[in-house]
Amino acid sequence: MAGDMKKYLNLDFEKIEKMTQIKKDYIEGKTDFETTKKLVRENFDKMTASEFAYSEQKIKELGFDDNTVHNKMNDVLGLFEDIIVKDEFTLPEGHPINTYILENKAARKLIAEMKEEYGKKFIKNKWLEFYDKLSQFNPTHLARKQHQLFSILESKGFDRPSRIMWSFDNGVRDSISEARKLLENDKIEEFLEKQENVWELTLDIMHKEEEVLFPTSMKMISEDEFKAMRAGDDEIGYFLIEKPKGFYPENSEQLNDTLASNSEHNISEAQNIVQNTQSAGNFMNDLATLMAKYNMGNQKEENEVFDVKQGKLTLEQINLIFQHMPVDLSFVDENEIVKFYTDTKHRVFPRSAGVIGRDVKNCHPRESVSSVLEIIDNFRSGKQDEIDFWLEMRGKFIYIYYVAVRDENGVFKGVLEMMQDVTRIRSLTGERKLVTWESEGKQEKQENYEENKNEFKSKYNFTGKTVIGDIVKKYPYIKEYMPLISPEYKRLLDPIQYMMMSKIATLQMIAMRGELELDYLIMMIEAKIDEEENK
């Protein structure tokens, strides 16, 4: 259950009531912008970011729908921006807020470089380099904010960021994606016309973060809670900066404090601490004692066997099965709370432990919440039992399947979501009835290459300058095949790392990474293409 955010803030409630009324009149159209701006100046000398944020939360209680508030948000922020006092932070490396601020600084530097390049002679490769970097803003910076920061703010009663700001985040994401497509399709004039919008939206979202979101978060979230958040940040990744050092939970005493309230959200935070603590010694014994103290389930022996529906498995085996599934699963219970997701290398979209215990409505942008609720309502009522979707994303074909989970009596217990990259599956033709190992014949190919390398010539015109993303776009199965050539190429299977490498990693760079001769790498790739094309 979400708390009341006022418990975490030192607020002037008389000022907030007056501020909320002024906002309400403006949103309802009773006053125009200039009149409202004058009222703000007459009534307030200054205002903290926390006071503005709490007023935004109060607006929700007045019955305004999210669309109305979203459409007026920029104007409302403009009304008060002259009097909002901006907080300055001195934070250690690794602190999540410090990391966001460093990323914003890197983003502004990148946009400044893009603006400088804008007036010069157009060079496509230069702009592709810019967009290879800028395209990482959504799956790193914005994703961490949505899954990490919004999560803990919701638990404290501040859900406006996840309900309103997420839509602004999506505007940034979509503008960058649309511009990149124009660039890749050589629609240069349209691409250049799009740049001002991309820059404006990206700079605007960072301004909103720094003016209101971050200062309010600093007031509402404790240092221990920020440390518990730190682990999930690492899991999602970072934008244009190196992985920060430090600021991890230090010992089991912090876990004790985090568990003290025994709330579902704090348990999720404690799990983060457990997964990422750097302490050694008797930590696990301390953990077992704490878990028992706070009634977090009976403690099981490491090898204790559970009677599952069909079979007997240890907890270790259950976790290993989930980790090795070639699909991405998540489960939302009958109360619409996210309870589980699989920690697998096949994950399609970024997630972190901060999503556990969240209301599923707050895990989606405003535009898609109605669809999510429609699915749950139809499953709950028994009108439907399953539904599927599919989409193409960054050269992948993604299949998404939802199924209603019911007990033996047909009582609705939640929704299971499955996502899978089915690009390779869709490319299969004919039959394969015999055992055929993908790596079979590798040694033979190596020996054949050694004998004929002086005469080797690429039949597909691949060279050291050929970019791996161009090959995978035409022959999608090559990405899955690359780790069989060398274990060094496993990172290509990670969606975020592949996105970063696909436009810049040449075959020469990849050959050097795998400590292979360039011609041999090309020969292996072409042999796989021949095999697939001749099926």
- Is 43 in the same domain as 104? no
Q: What is the mean pLDDT of residues 360-365?
A: 72
Share of the chain above pLDDT 70, in %: 73
CATH number at residue 202: 1.20.120.520
Q: What are phi and psi of 35, to 5 degrees?
A: -65, -45
- Is 173 in the same domain as 207? yes
Q: Assess if residue 274 is contained within a domain.
A: no
- 226-264 per-position pLDDT tens digit: 888 887 788 788 999 988 888 887 653 444 454 444 444
Highest mean pLDDT among 55-59, 391-395, 485-489: 485-489
- Is 382 in the same domain as 353? yes
Cβ–Cβ under 8 Å, residues 527 and 458: no
Of 212, 236, 260, at which residue does a domain stop? 236
Biggest CA-to-CA distance, the chain:
86
Of 427, 455, 485, at which residue does a domain stop? 427
Q: Assess if residue 317 is contained within a domain.
A: yes
Confidence at residue 213, expressed as pLDDT on a 0 to 100 scale:
86
- Is 101 in the same domain as 79? no
Q: Assess if residue 61 is contained within a domain.
A: yes
Contacts of 302 (CB under 8 A, 6+ apart): 314, 315, 316
- Is 120 in the same domain as 23? no
Q: Assess if residue 287 is contained within a domain.
A: no
* Dist. CA 505–CA 216, nearest whole Å: 41
* Dist. CA 518–CA 510, nearest whole Å: 8
Per-residue 3-state assignment (H helix, E strand, C coil) for 182-193: HHHCCCHHHHHH
pLDDT at 279 over 50: no
- Is 221 in the same domain as 117? yes
pLDDT at 90 over 80: yes
Q: Half-sphere exposure of residue 267, counting CA atoms within 13 Å on the CB side?
A: 12
- C-alpha angle 226/229/232, rounded to 5°? 155
Q: How many domains are there within the chain? A: 4
Contacts of 452 (CB under 8 A, 6+ apart): none
Neighbour count for residue 487 (Cβ, 10 Å):
9
Q: Which is more confidently placed, 288 or 17?
A: 17
Cβ–Cβ under 8 Å, residues 415 and 403: yes
* Dist. CA 275–CA 209, nearest whole Å: 28
Q: What are phi and psi of 465, to 5 degrees?
A: -90, -5
- Is 53 in the same domain as 114? no
Confidence at residue 371, expressed as pLDDT on a 0 to 100 scale:
86
Confidence at residue 265, expressed as pLDDT on a 0 to 100 scale:
47
Confidence at residue 21, expressed as pLDDT on a 0 to 100 scale:
80
Of 194, 220, 236, at which residue does a domain stop? 236
- Is 346 in the same domain as 225? no
Confidence of residue 299 (pLDDT cuts 50, 70, 90): very low
Domain extent at residue 37: 5-85
Token pair 């967009």 in the structure block, residue: 131
- 482-534 per-position pLDDT tens digit: 888 887 787 787 766 677 677 888 898 888 887 788 888 898 898 888 888 77
- 107-134 per-position pLDDT tens digit: 999 999 999 888 888 888 889 889 989 9
Among 112-116, 156-160, 196-200, 519-523, the least confident range: 156-160
Q: Assess if residue 280 is contained within a domain.
A: no
Q: Is 337 helix (H, G, I), strand (E, B) or coil?
A: strand
Model pTM above 0.85: no
Q: What is the chain's mean pLDDT, rounded?
A: 77
- Is 223 in the same domain as 151? yes
Q: Assess if residue 219 is contained within a domain.
A: yes
Q: Assess if residue 281 is contained within a domain.
A: no
Q: Half-sphere exposure of residue 44, counting CA atoms within 13 Å on the CB side?
A: 26
- Is 514 in the same domain as 481? yes
- Is 110 in the same domain as 194? yes
In sequence order, what are the beta bridge partners of 524?
none
Confidence at residue 266, expressed as pLDDT on a 0 to 100 scale:
47
Closest by CA position to 520, among listed 437, 464, 481, 438 = 464
Confidence at residue 33, expressed as pLDDT on a 0 to 100 scale:
79
Q: Assess if residue 369 is contained within a domain.
A: yes
Among 196-205, 373-382, 392-401, the least confident range: 392-401
Burial of 448 (0-12, 13-18, 19+ CB in 10 A): middle
pLDDT at 302 over 80: no
* Dist. CA 172–CA 260, nearest whole Å: 39
Share of the chain above pLDDT 90, in %: 16
pLDDT at 383 over 90: yes
Closest by CA position to 454, among listed 528, 360, 370, 519 = 519
CATH number at residue 347: 3.30.450.20
Alpha helices by DSSP H, 135-244 = 143-144, 150-155, 160, 166-184, 188-208, 214-220, 223-236
* Dist. CA 337–CA 262, nearest whole Å: 17
Q: What is the mean pLDDT of residues 296-315?
A: 71
Q: What is the mean pLDDT of residues 58-72?
A: 62
Confidence at residue 252, expressed as pLDDT on a 0 to 100 scale:
38
- Is 70 in the same domain as 143? no
